[in-house]
């Protein structure tokens, strides 16, 4: 592990994760799978008896075996089930492959393109975290491209019903800083069909550190006619987590539970562990502190992007 994060205690090795400048949590390490600086970020993966396998990028937790399905089902299914018949999906990021896995549950999907800049990270995940992708990388519907996502979207000729942003958060000198700006969102809109939807993971929605989330909502509203923020609690993150659904046409709150259930049956979706039709609208019920703070969000631009410095 990175030397400044790994400490030896009498009971074994512990990984120290900085949550804020005032708060750090310790996670026991029973086995190290890899620790490697790729061309773009520092990647670490280890085993903890409670979390299972855990992936960190630049000292920030990305995914844990105990609950990754909550994050990935929440990221994928609200949007795909809002669209009546999605066939072609673009994933930006998504290194572990679990976002692909969830998309491919929908039998109506004909093609999924995943664009990730970090080839080495994806290969590490394929080797050490095969439970996440569950064969999605080798599915004939999947096409994997190693390229800068912004360049790919800007030159894309075909259009998509769904584009999903499953990126790491924008840390200084990280690979995703300029993938959360108004200029990029405009390019995303151009790459979508006329009835397309854009979904992105949007960071923490806890009472103290939800500025990124609120700014993403504000930024998306400058580009898309309909924006619906939502959230879910992610145990391994230790906090509620935000998502933003931006739509050209379809409102996720317009389809009732029976219609969502019908689409689940028609698409032969099975073995979900978190998402269900009755939960669909519940995702979008936000607490007062968030709804009030949404008004204070800042429009993110290439000149003034958001960068986490914790």
Cβ partners under 8 Å of residue 286, min gap 6: 205, 229, 230, 231
Sign of CA dihedral 62, 200, 239, 72: negative
Going from the C-alpha of 266 to that of each of 240, 245, 261, the distances in angstroms are: 31, 23, 9
* Residue in 58, 67, 116, 166 annotated catalytic: 166
Active site residue 166: yes
CA geometry: angle at 65 spanning 60 and 70, to 5°? 85
- Strand-pair partners of 204: 241
Rounded Cα distance, 18 and 24, in Å: 4
Cβ partners under 8 Å of residue 54, min gap 6: 27, 45, 46, 47, 48, 61, 63, 64, 65, 236
Rounded Cα distance, 100 and 102, in Å: 5
- Strand-pair partners of 229: 244
**Cα(first)–Cα(last) distance of the chain, in Å?**
19
Residues annotated as part of the active site: 166
């Amino acid at each position: 592990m990175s030397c400044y994060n790994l400490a030896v205690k009498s009971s074994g090795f512990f990984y120290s994760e900085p949550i804020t400048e005032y708060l750090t949590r310790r996670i026991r390490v029973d086995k190290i799978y890899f620790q490697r600086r790729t061309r773009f970020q520092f990647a670490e993966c280890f085993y903890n008896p409670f979390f299972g396998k855990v992936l960190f990028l630049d000292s920030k937790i990305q995914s844990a075996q105990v609950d990754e399905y909550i994050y990935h089902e929440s990221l994928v299914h609200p949007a795909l089930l809002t669209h009546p018949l999605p066939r072609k999906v673009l994933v930006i990021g998504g290194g572990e492959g679990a976002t692909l896995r969830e998309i491919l549950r929908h039998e109506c999907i004909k093609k999924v393109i995943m664009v990730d800049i970090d080839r080495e990270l994806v290969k590490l995940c394929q080797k050490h975290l095969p439970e996440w992708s569950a064969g999605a990388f080798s599915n004939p519907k999947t096409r994997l491209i190693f390229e800068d996502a912004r360049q790919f979207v800007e030159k894309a000729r075909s259009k998509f019903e769904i584009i999903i942003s499953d990126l790491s958060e924008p840390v200084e000198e990280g690979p995703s800083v300029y993938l959360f700006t108004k200029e990029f969102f405009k390019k995303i809109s151009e790459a979508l069909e006329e009835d397309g939807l854009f979904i992105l993971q949007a960071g923490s929605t806890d009472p103290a550190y939800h500025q990124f989330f609120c700014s993403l909502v504000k930024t998306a509203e400058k580009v898309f006619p309909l924006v619906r923020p939502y959230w879910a609690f992610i145990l391994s993150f230790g906090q509620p987590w935000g998502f933003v659904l931006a739509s050209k046409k379809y409102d996720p709150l317009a389809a009732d539970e029976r219609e969502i259930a019908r689409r689940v049956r028609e698409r032969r979706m099975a073995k979900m562990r978190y998402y269900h039709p009755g939960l669909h609208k519940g995702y979008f019920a936000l607490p007062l502190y968030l709804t009030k703070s949404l008004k204070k969000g800042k429009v993110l631009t290439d000149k003034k992007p958001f960068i986490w410095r914790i």
